[in-house]
Amino acid sequence: MSGKPRLTYLNGRGRMEPIRWLLGAAGVEFEETFLETREQYEKLIKGGSLLFQQVPLVEIDGMKMVQTRAILSYIAGKYNLYGKDLKERALIDMYVEGITDLMQMILMFPFAPPEEKEKNFNSIKEKATNRYFPVFEKVLKQHGQDFLVGNKFSWADIQLIEAILAVEEKIPAVLSGFPQLQAFKIRMSNMPTIKKFLQPGSPRKPPPDDHYVETVLKIFKN
């Protein structure tokens, strides 16, 4: 046993990607088990490892943790990425929840029927540009600091850089009206742990392709 956290999920982003980002940014090495077949998934359920019969699953510190938010909160708390007090936590939580709502749209995008793709794409663009990015642009402008909360690197910053890059994959010029976010993106991308995570060969997963979508539908059909 290595003592490193072990992540069990499909070999793709999905709901595990924010966890890979957070561990990566915290400089924590981890191992991964990839689910490739329905049988593997059923075996995992039968074995009693999945509290609510769902993945993500992260084995960490003797716990078999499930539920993405619970896992992320634990990791953020453990690695001092959750602010210095309750109020900073509250801000981080608010920012993370907002970003999660945006990321949820991107997560579901490949699974919508083809006739809805254009509508969903426009929705992502509209929400990113009018609802979410303006909030963080304003936060950074108002305090003039490098990080979103408490002048210190936190989970909120990691979640935001992940979201910026994910939206840019769909809408390359999405940051054009957001100079603070452009600078933020460069700053975060250059932090040593994140820089490493952004390099080829890291645990970061590529955007979902048809094969990934097929695998998801096959494994999680119910």
Would you tell me which residues interact with other proteins (CB under 8 A)? Answer: 51-53, 61, 63, 65-67, 69-70, 73-74, 77-78, 86-87, 89-90, 93-94, 96-98, 101, 131-132, 135
Q: What are phi and psi of 173, to 5 degrees?
A: -100, 20
Q: Shortest Cβ distance from residue 71 to other proteins (Å)?
A: 8
Q: How far is the CB of 57 from other proteins (least distance, A)?
A: 11
Nearest to 215 by CA among 8, 6, 14, 7: 14
Q: Report the residue number, 72 or 166, with the smaller CB distance to other proteins.
A: 72
Minimum distance of other proteins from residue 78's CB (angstroms): 6
Q: Are 185 and 157 within 8 A, CB to CB? A: no
Residue 15 or 212: which CB sits closer to other proteins? 15
**Max CA separation in the chain (angstroms):** 52
Of 96 and 164, CB closest to other proteins: 96
Q: How far is the CB of 23 from other proteins (least distance, A)?
A: 15
Q: How far is the CB of 54 from other proteins (least distance, A)?
A: 9
CB-wise, 68 or 215, nearer to other proteins?
68
Q: What is the 3-state secondary structure (H, E, C) of 55-101?
A: CCEEEECCEEEECHHHHHHHHHHHCCCCCCCHHHHHHHHHHHHHHHH
φ and ψ of 133, to 5 deg:
-60, -35
User: What order do you get walking across the sheet with 57-60 strand by strand?
Assistant: 31-34, 6-9, 57-60, 63-66
Is the CB of 77 or the CB of 206 nearer to other proteins? Answer: 77
